[in-house]
Amino acid sequence: MLAALGRISRRRRRLGGDFDEPESSDRARRLTARWNEVWPGSEPAGHLLRYAYAERWVRFHSLPDGKRYAETTAESDAILDRHLTVLRELLASEESSALVLIAQEWDRADLAGGWTRTAPVAWWPWRTHTEPDEDGLPSLTTYFWAADARTPTDLAPLLRLVADDRAHLLVAPPSLEWIYAPYDGGADIVLADRSRRDGLAAAHPDWLSPRPDGL
């Protein structure tokens, strides 16, 4: 209960509001072209990707028995270790250890907005997406920012923020051939094909959900 109240309090203290318009630049156009080639029909958000590409998706939980939040330093370290372990395994087949980060932000109507303002990352504005409300009118705007990282270890501060429900992001190689979407409780991974998904799931059976739907 106290942990949940703390997360709500942190959200209320964030500096949300309007963000920069997407860049009109070569790097933005390259990222957009590659995204549309590899992941057509989905915005860069974990909950959308896992439904659009369900046959290539697997979820790992961060702690035993589906426990969502750490209560001790040891549990916090275990969460980070699981994230880094999977990211290193995914990178093993890549030519480079470089990573692309995609941050998800929201406009002033959402209390979760504003976290990128204080995260120690050089984000740049990539694209936006506005969801219609029940009447079909434009409603909440989602902002997607991009950045680069050199190794999984560079992501440790961000992954700790995610685990505490204070950040929302995707991690991918420059090829975008797989997507790692951490959340407060685990990670959703979407891979290039079903065989790679099955291989990754088989490598960590104790981290899988016991639920039939895999959540």
Question: Nearest 5 degrees, angle CA 156-CA 17-CA 155?
Answer: 10
d(CA 61, CA 94): 24
Question: For the ranges 4-18, 75-89, 91-105, which has the lowest average pLDDT?
Answer: 4-18
Q: What is the mean pLDDT of the chain?
A: 86
Question: For the ranges 9-13, 117-121, 181-185, 199-203, which has the lowest average pLDDT?
Answer: 9-13
* Confidence (pLDDT) at 75: 95
Q: Give the start-to-end residue ranges of the domains of the chain.
A: 2-207
Rounded alpha-carbon distances, angstroms, from residue 71 to 17, 167, 186: 32, 19, 15
